[in-house]
Amino acid sequence: MAEPLWTSSEICTATGGLLQGAEFEVAGVSIDTRTLEPGDLFVALKGERDGFVYARDAFERGAAGALTYQPVEGPHIEVEDTLVALERMGVVARMRSPALRGAVTGSVGKTSVTQAIKTALELAGPAHGSVKSYNNHVGVPLTLARMPKGTRRAVFEIGMNHAGEIEPLARMVEPHAACVTTVGPVHIENFADGEAGVARAKGEIFSGLVPGGTAVLNADDPWFGLLSAMAKAEGARIESFGSGEGCSARLTGFEPHGGGAVVRARLDGRDIDFTIAQNGAHWGPNSLCALLMLRALDVDLDVAFEALARFGPLPGRGLESRIGLPGGGAFTLIDESYNANPMSMRAAFATLKAHPAGGRRIAVLTDMLELGAAAAQRHAELAGPLQDAGIDLVFCAGPLMRALWDVLPPGLRGGWATSAAELASEVQGALRAGDVVVVKGSNGSKAWQVAQALASEGAPAPVRGAA
């Protein structure tokens, strides 16, 4: 029988809670009854609806026990604050495991890079890591609390909306290696000093590094100097990736081919080339970031190469599908609908430019959010990159995208609507066989509604592509 993830006695010791009812053992930790697995511990968090009201549902779904702040029917452990208790469980889980830990943040690419690293860690031995985008004040301690005692390596995604949010999470994880993929104008409305504030907030990740830990940084990023100084102040050893001389991993070539690419680089002065299952140009530096992180976590280079050759695009982050059209033929959908900012928009346009399209290249864009007072201007500034990428047709949705629409050349204008839902049918009616369509926008502006509508045209067949 497999060793339990937690016993009720261990949970009580970690949290200072009081057991009510029979002792129990759990195989997992859940905060959501919709995804709870039999044998899980249900953690009742306070939110829009108090979590304890879902305890009955949790037990009906097979929960072995609950962690609550009020009495419930069934074996449970009572604490004053369940989020604090979850944090304490996370710290204990970290302390009882010998795992080498990595932490990933950045304005663009952190989820995909985290999952690429996780793919390699799983090939290298007992591993653990973030699922989806569990990167906030709940997701990070939850991921830690789920870490089995025998884990050898783990990777954690850490995100933020405001200054001061990453530091406590980084100190909770205590990574042996931490990276910042890149810094850009994301959540910028929350920073009075703009991107400089974003960069400093991202640099908080180095505050949690173990003594002598590794900081992996993008040398092509304009904030490389600031981030290097922050990392060095924490005693970190700097590893860099980028296109210039002096990088630990220097990108010398990127050759997309169909659903993947060949990356050419110099790693500590030695020429290497390897295949990845992504064809977006931004995956050149992303793959080098992952390689340096994996090396810092004691993963063999051959294992890292194998993982990058396997790791395909994530849903909403470049997943590519061929979709049948009602009148015959098919178009290619590149679903980038999970989120967007000016940097990731430009990367998506570059990916579309490089795609071996048999028809038109079409961009379907919804509002980018949290860009502050200059939001309209940042939308309008996308007109140049769209034209440089040779995009044939542009569809826009949302009040901010109207600023882009107004400056587009008439020949590029496909359509504009007030919302993603309204735009979807207009895009559907314009599609032809051979078209390649990228859907990109912030999650809050519901770009996913367009992607979902386009995917319903026919029976999608996923293929590898950019992420």
Instruction: Measure the CA–CA gap between 170 and 436, rounded to whole angstroms.
Output: 40
pLDDT grade, residue 48 (50/70/90)? low
Share of the chain above pLDDT 90, in %: 75
Cβ atoms of 49 and 123 closer than 8 Å = no
Higher pLDDT, 467 or 132: 132
Output the pLDDT for position 52.
66
Q: Which amino acid is at 368?
A: M
Q: How many CB atoms lie within 10 A of CB 162?
A: 11
pLDDT tens readout for residues 411-433: 999 999 999 999 998 999 999 99
Tell me the pairing of strands 249-257 and 237-242. parallel
Locus of tokens 């104008």: 185
Instruction: Measure the CA–CA gap between 268 and 249, rounded to whole angstroms.
Output: 6
Higher pLDDT, 371 or 17: 17
Domain 319-463 adopts which CATH fold?
Answer: Protein-Tyrosine Phosphatase; Chain A (3.90.190)
Nearest to 128 by CA among 147, 150, 105, 112: 147
Residue 192 pLDDT > 90: no
Half-sphere exposure of 99 (CA within 13 A, CB side): 32
Output the pLDDT for position 17.
97
Output the pLDDT for position 77.
97
Domain 6-84 adopts which CATH fold?
Answer: 3.40.1390
Higher pLDDT, 85 or 132: 85
Residue 462 pLDDT > 80: no
- The secondary structure element, H or E, covering residue 362 is strand 361-366
Q: What is the mean pLDDT of residues 277-300?
A: 95
Q: How many CB atoms lie within 10 A of CB 411?
A: 7
pLDDT tens readout for residues 356-408: 777 899 999 999 988 888 899 999 999 999 999 999 999 999 999 999 999 99
Residue 435 pLDDT > 80: yes
Q: What is the mean pLDDT of residues 278-300?
A: 95
Residue 461 pLDDT > 70: no
Instruction: Measure the CA–CA gap between 238 and 229, rounded to whole angstroms.
Output: 10
Instruction: Measure the CA–CA gap between 102 and 283, rounded to whole angstroms.
Output: 19
Residue 459 pLDDT > 60: no
Instruction: Measure the CA–CA gap between 68 and 220, rounded to whole angstroms.
Output: 47
pLDDT tens readout for residues 149-176: 999 999 999 999 888 999 999 999 999 9
Higher pLDDT, 85 or 459: 85
Q: What is the mean pLDDT of residues 251-260?
A: 89
Tokens of 462: 């996923």
Cβ atoms of 127 and 118 closer than 8 Å = yes
Q: How many CB atoms lie within 10 A of CB 95?
A: 9
Output the pLDDT for position 40.
98
Output the pLDDT for position 343.
85
pLDDT grade, residue 71 (50/70/90)? very high
End-to-end C-alpha distance for the chain, whole angstroms: 39
Mean pLDDT of the chain, nearest integer? 92
Domain boundaries of the chain, sorted by first residue? 6-84, 97-310, 319-463
Q: Write the class of the CATH domain 97-310.
A: alpha beta
